[in-house]
Structure 1
Amino acid sequence: MAVAVEGGEKWFRTCDVTGFKVDVRAEKIAKVNAVMAVVSFLIAVIAALLLVFTRWQLFHILPVDWYYRVLTLHGLDALVFWIIFFELAALTFASTAFLNTRMSSPAAGWLGTLLAIVGWLLVNYTILAGQADVLMTSYAPLKAHPLFYLGMILFAVGALVIVTTFFANLMIWRRENPGQSLPLFVYGLMAAAIIAVITIVSGAIIYIPTFLWSLGIIKDIDPAVYKLVWWGLGHPSQQINVAAHVSVWYLLAFLTVGGTSINEKVSRFAFVLYIVAINVASAHHLLVDPAVSPVWKVWNTSYVMYLAVFASMIHAFAVPSAIEVAQRRKGFTKGLFEWLKAAPWGNPGFSGLMLSLIIFGFIGGITGVVNGMEQTNIIVHNTISVTGHFKGAVVGGTALAFMSVTYYLIPLLFRKKIAFYGVAKYVPWLFGIGIAILGVSMYILGAFGVPRRHWDITFSGGPFTYTFNPVTDFFWALFGLGGALAVIGALIWILQVVVSVFFGQPFNGPKDLQIPIAEPPPPAKGEHEGFAAPGTFVLVLLFMVTFIIFVALNYGWLSAMWEVK
């Protein structure tokens, strides 16, 4: 029930589960952005299915023109629209309800949402109309219809407006709560919002002149300049995702087992390192370009990038250790891993969190460092290995984390019961295992030289053809299997969300809560002897060994490519 406060100027409802004071105006804006996120995700998933069975030469279902059209559609809806719309919903809801404060300007929130939706419509329309077959990167001199660039500009401006209201909401909270620290979840989202400002400004710097070029007002766009500036948008937009989904990891650890970071100061410092250093990873997209110097390439992809890697290492320990400490305080103290065995694996929020953490670390993170280093990048540059890395980082990491936390958002934000909740516990496993198989198979296929974007990898009908090692047939089969499993998991999740939100039963308080919210664990009993999280420490050592072995193998393969006689 909403209640008017101070003459109707402020409207709130009190959440009967969390006790939060929710500004219903912000809630509506968050709902619209969340719905747009799911619609974008549906488009991306359908496009992904078509691409999987086109890249796999055994089926090759799309003609060449529609392949590049669908590839453009998938790239933008999966890597930009679905994730950023979700993040805009999270920023709006977290900076109001999570902080028990009001929205600074609902009018600005609605303006930003409207601009983003209009931009989304223009971009998707021009792609499907065959007027923007330029892929997500839209490298000059490839030219799309002016409405494509206008749509990207409008979407970026809309997102920037909502990010600005997020900061204004934080200022209101700070004025009302002097001396208090932001909750870690909101602090992480603040880091994501700061990265978003840098990212969106980079996009504006390049998309505005490109729009004028498409209209004929500007004569030429230098391809090297375009690529350099565009990657200030293209890669950092995924770094927004990293900061956001790590924030969601901390939130899910708290919701599922009552876990909190064993050292919040260190976790906050890691988010600061993201702000300072994570965007330099954009440089690895330019490592074969002659426009920038070798010194610039090595500096950005080595010394500075390692600060961001260090930040991710901190989170890789902090999140599972928060879970372990909470579980041990509940009495699961036998051996190294009873806490993990006794965890609530039937809760899709928890299983999704753990799978997201594992896939992002072991597949997305490790391959990302190898792809991003100036020395080893050349082995996989512009092969399908690059998109295999995306699957581990952005899909297995970000998308799975967002999907998992949605099971909490449906009752708490949309005030609806979760439809078909009995199948929810299978969704993270279907989607996560599918993405893991897909990502690993793509990375291995790239090691055999399969190109990243080409419609026909055998170049059939051309003056020169190529036959890959027969072992790649096995990995193409894994590629198809992984893609199919991931699509099935994603479609089940989308069906649950749509039915729940638009046709679901009303949520009437704690008695209707299907997904459990954990009680805080009992306080620690005095000083702990030895490591507070020994199991996590062993798991992190396992990760480090895997990482070292993979990097060593890549340097070995690199040395084999450069024979000196």
Structure 2
Amino acid sequence: MSNALYRTCPESGLQFHKSAEWLMRANAVAAVVCLLIGGATALMVTLTRWPAVHLLPADKFYQLLTIHGINMLIYWIIFFEIAVLYFCSSTLLRCRIAMPRMAWAAFGLMVVGAIINNLSVLGGNSSVMMTSYVPMPADSNFYLGLILFAVGALIGCFIFLGTLVVAREEKTYEGSIPLVTFGALTACIIAVFTIAAGAIILVPTWLWSVGLIGNIDAAMYRLIWWGFGHSSQQINVAAHVSVWYAIAAIVFGARPMSEKVSRGAFLLYIAFLQLASAHHLLVDPGLSASWKIFNTSYAMYLAVLASMIHGLTVPGAIEVAQRGKGFSKGLYEWLRKAPWGNPVFSGMFISLVGFGFIGGISGVVMGTEQINIIIHNTIYVPGHFHATVVLGTTLAFMSLTYFLIPTLFRRQVMFPALARWQPYLFGFGMAVFTLTMMGAGTLGVQRRHWDMTFTDSLLSFDYPASAYTLMGIVGVSGMAAIVGGAIFVMITVLSVFFGKRVESESTYGTAMTMLKRAEPDVLSEGGHAAAGKFGFAAPGTFLFALFFLAIFVIYYAINWKYLASVWPMS
């Protein structure tokens, strides 16, 4: 291979193919721009849902809510995920990227699609929110923009798969692909399914919007659309779990406790994770109770098992690595002595705990058909998905960005003291935001109505005073999280464009050797067992897992009790 086509980071050891490097930069920059747009509209939406402020009129609220949802749930995350796919293939496998010109064309399609879609909403005729349910019509460019973006993202997935083939043919790695790349492959496979589901329903909907199709069945639309809408979050889960493994390796040199188990968990994602889409349809007529219960209970629990495995193995790997370095006093010295001032680690760990305890538990509970009926279409629902998409995925991507700024963009992180605090402000603000939204939703606060007080309505409704208190806390904590997000955008933009250029890019260790697959499997060889305590390699993590299980059981029982109280049998 020609050295002119590659750049090697002198400290991290990461090797960047120059075409892939610029593609990663372009996608990452586009992602942050979309995050900025989504964050600015989040400010307006939060100030409107805050009863004491109630900033916007109804038409502007729904318009900005549409822009917020699409930019945050689709554009910010998928642009960043394409950058992650290129990083996990070309960079981690030390090979050239497949078809770079086609990759640039895909990027161009994604940018054009995002612009067309946003302009259609700003035009005032497409305030249909992210779900864009028919028969409520949007401007035809709304659907066209989504289709163009989806086509570009699909091409990006195929570029990733092609790069894996290039690496295999050119023998740039030995054995199986690294676990982080395997996780990215999982995200890619789910993305192909997700985009296909979107195309199946969005293409005919676009034809309907221009008058070439007379009718779109609303029930069919919802069923197929959620194969796209919710499965897009499953791409995020696989991607941010891969980021967790990567950061554990980058910061601690941590190796998976068992690669076979971790890979098996990723395979469970591929087989069962998309079935969770059904929990958006649990109150829909026309779908049988057996279909709903099977998809959201018996089958989906296998995907839940996969997430619980990752939630055990990632902190477990960190604990084993820390104990191996001598931090072995008691159950939690390894955690107390972790680098909490490093935003790469702190952001990842808050993401892991927040996603598991808030997003994971609430998702399983609301995915139960009987319980779902008491929280469906309440503000509990956005509370849940802010815990998964924002507290889980977005914060994980933020933490990885702090590593990529010096490594990929070759710039020093500006305002390092502020960067150390940013994950805490954003993470804890979002944690309170999500928990209080769920509390307000449990009290019945509606999900999509712009005015919970129903001012001037013919039929009024009074919530308990505690609901207004909770929504006030939603407003305050939401503002804290928005400030944390704004700080991240400021640090990222200023660092990338104005930060001091560095030749020795990374301060987080020799990442290339850390990100490689552990050989042999550490537990099968007993390599880390001696570092454990009480007969466990990671006793502190095991206790955390038991605590998680106890919280889940208690919360699950509370919801069944609540259901019994609101739906008594006579």
Report what 2:228 is aligned to.
Answer: 233
Distance in 2 separating the partners of 1:108 and 1:20? 24
Report what 2:5 is aligned to.
Answer: 11
Report what 1:57 is aligned to.
Answer: 51
Deviations 1:105-129 (A, max 9, x none): 0011001100000000001111111
Counterpart check, 1:243 vs 2:248: no
Alpha carbons 1:418, 1:514 under 8 Å: kept: no
Report what 2:560 is aligned to.
Answer: 555
Counterpart check, 1:417 vs 2:412: yes
Q: 2:88 aligns with which of 76, 90, 94?
A: 94
Give 3-state SS (helix, strand or coil) of 1:48's partner. helix
Q: 1:138 aligns with which of 126, 132, 138?
A: 132
Alpha carbons 2:32, 2:76 under 8 Å: kept: yes
Alpha carbons 1:359, 1:396 under 8 Å: kept: yes
Q: 1:257 aligns with which of 252, 261, 273?
A: 252
- Cα deviation for residue 104 of structure 1 reads 1.1
Task: State the TM-score, normalized to the length of structure 1.
Answer: 0.96
> What amino acid is aligned across from residue 292 of structure 2 in structure 1?
K
Distance in 2 separating the partners of 1:527 and 1:422? 34
Distance in 1 separating the partners of 2:121 and 2:378? 24
Task: State the TM-score, normalized to the length of structure 2.
Answer: 0.95
Q: Which moved more, 1:446-455 or 1:469-478?
A: 469-478
Distance in 1 separating the partners of 2:383 and 2:510? 34
Distance in 1 separating the partners of 2:6 and 2:387? 40
Say what the alpha-carbon RMSD is for the aligned residues.
Answer: 1.7
Give 3-state SS (helix, strand or coil) of 1:13's partner. strand
Distance in 1 separating the partners of 2:28 and 2:174? 32
- Cα deviation for residue 325 of structure 1 reads 0.2
Q: Which moved more, 1:381-390 or 1:457-466?
A: 457-466
Report what 2:502 is aligned to.
Answer: 507
Instruction: Kindly report which structure 2 residues correspond to 1:271-282, keeping only aligned pairs within 5 A, or say none.
Output: 271-282=266-277
> What amino acid is aligned across from residue 359 of structure 2 in structure 1?
G
Report what 1:531 is aligned to.
Answer: 536
Report what 2:428 is aligned to.
Answer: 433
Deviations 1:111-152 (A, max 9, x none): 110000000000111111112111100000111111111100
The alpha-carbon distance between structure 1 residues 525 and 392, as it changes in their structure 2 partners (threshold 3 A), is closer
Q: 2:142 aligns with which of 142, 148, 160?
A: 148
Q: 1:301 aligns with which of 286, 296, 300?
A: 296
The alpha-carbon distance between structure 1 residues 527 and 76, as it changes in their structure 2 partners (threshold 3 A), is closer
Alpha carbons 2:41, 2:65 under 8 Å: kept: yes
- Cα deviation for residue 473 of structure 1 reads 2.7
Counterpart check, 1:214 vs 2:209: yes
The alpha-carbon distance between structure 1 residues 447 and 105, as it changes in their structure 2 partners (threshold 3 A), is same
Instruction: Kindly report which structure 2 residues correspond to 1:474-493, keeping only aligned pairs within 5 A, or say none.
Output: 474-493=469-488
Distance in 2 separating the partners of 1:238 and 1:349? 22
Distance in 2 separating the partners of 1:472 and 1:169? 52
Instruction: Kindly report which structure 2 residues correspond to 1:309-324, keeping only aligned pairs within 5 A, or say none.
Output: 309-324=304-319
Give 3-state SS (helix, strand or coil) of 1:96's partner. helix
Q: Which moved more, 1:530-539 or 1:478-487?
A: 478-487
> What amino acid is aligned across from residue 199 of structure 2 in structure 1?
A
Distance in 2 separating the partners of 1:275 and 1:300? 15
What 5-or-longer segments of structure 1 have no aligned partner? none
The alpha-carbon distance between structure 1 residues 525 and 553, as it changes in their structure 2 partners (threshold 3 A), is closer
Counterpart check, 1:542 vs 2:537: no
- Cα deviation for residue 526 of structure 1 reads 5.8
Give 3-state SS (helix, strand or coil) of 2:90's partner. coil
**How many pairs are equivalent?**
557
Identity of aligned residues (%): 49
Counterpart check, 1:497 vs 2:492: yes
Report what 1:460 is aligned to.
Answer: 455
> What amino acid is aligned across from residue 497 of structure 1 in structure 2?
T
- Cα deviation for residue 560 of structure 1 reads 1.4
Give 3-state SS (helix, strand or coil) of 1:375's partner. helix
Deviations 1:399-452 (A, max 9, x none): 000001100100111111111112111000000000001000000000110000
The alpha-carbon distance between structure 1 residues 371 and 352, as it changes in their structure 2 partners (threshold 3 A), is same
Distance in 2 separating the partners of 1:436 and 1:186? 29
Distance in 2 separating the partners of 1:235 and 1:527? 41
- Cα deviation for residue 255 of structure 1 reads 1.1
- Cα deviation for residue 334 of structure 1 reads 0.7
Distance in 1 separating the partners of 2:150 and 2:410? 30
Counterpart check, 1:344 vs 2:339: yes
Distance in 2 separating the partners of 1:549 and 1:489? 32
> What amino acid is aligned across from residue 545 of structure 2 in structure 1?
V
Report what 1:406 is aligned to.
Answer: 401
Distance in 2 separating the partners of 1:479 and 1:516? 39
Bigger relative CO (Cα 8 Å, ≥ 6 apart): 2
- Cα deviation for residue 508 of structure 1 reads 1.4
Give 3-state SS (helix, strand or coil) of 2:6's partner. strand
Distance in 1 separating the partners of 2:509 and 2:20? 25
Deviations 1:298-340 (A, max 9, x none): 1101100000000011001000000100000000111111111
Distance in 1 separating the partners of 2:220 and 2:380? 26
Report what 1:29 is aligned to.
Answer: 23
